Amino acid sequence: MSKDKREKDPVITILNIIIILLIFVILYFGQSAFFYRSMAEKRSFTQDAGHMSYELQNGDYAGLIQGRYVNEFNGNNDPAGYHALAEYIEAASMYRVYRDKGYMERADREKAVMDSSRTKMQELSIFADKADKMFGIADQ
């Protein structure tokens, strides 16, 4: 007995590869849609007051500022005191740079932002005093 070796049709092989690729594409987009939908429902890309407080206790001022921008981007203005403090710290750092470089007009604008933010931060103003000492602007 002899076995007949049949040649595979190249069209069938190409169709099998296309089917396998389509399965992977469908699985990828399905997983991505599920991920982004679940993230949108949880709103986990925002930082609450507890997380911002943790960053503040650890002296992570850059994380505090980043949290403010993340919250603003996602439409969350809930921890207003922490947002005001982050705005104050960012303005204080820019004020120091502009003042030291001699750009007094820009420094005055940052000083106005600092004054505005200090009124919004309520009980967190003690951290604004620490930021003033950190940036060397406490004497002004």
Its domain, for residue 33, covers 9-42
Q: What is the pLDDT of residue 116?
A: 93
Q: What is the pLDDT of residue 122?
A: 83
pLDDT at residue 131 tops 60: yes
On whether both 54 and 99 belong to a single domain, the answer is yes
Q: Considering only CA atoms, which of 69, 50, 125, 123 is closest in space to residue 92?
A: 125
Q: How confident is the model at residue 114 (pLDDT cuts 50, 70, 90)?
A: very high
Q: How confident is the model at residue 139 (pLDDT cuts 50, 70, 90)?
A: low
pLDDT at residue 103 tops 90: yes
> How many domains is the chain built from?
2
Map tokens 């407080």 to a residue.
Answer: 53
Q: Considering only CA atoms, which of 119, 96, 116, 120 is closest in space to residue 106?
A: 96
- Stated pTM of the model: 0.67
From residue 77, give the alpha-carbon distance in Å to each of 60, 64, 80, 82.
20, 14, 6, 10
On whether both 127 and 76 belong to a single domain, the answer is yes
On whether both 65 and 90 belong to a single domain, the answer is yes
Q: Is residue 140 part of a domain?
A: no
% pLDDT > 90, the chain: 42
On whether both 20 and 84 belong to a single domain, the answer is no
Q: What is the pLDDT of residue 140?
A: 54
On whether both 15 and 62 belong to a single domain, the answer is no
For 10-61, the pLDDT digits (tens) are 899 999 999 999 999 999 999 999 888 877 776 556 777 888 888 888 888 9
Map tokens 């931060």 to a residue.
Answer: 121
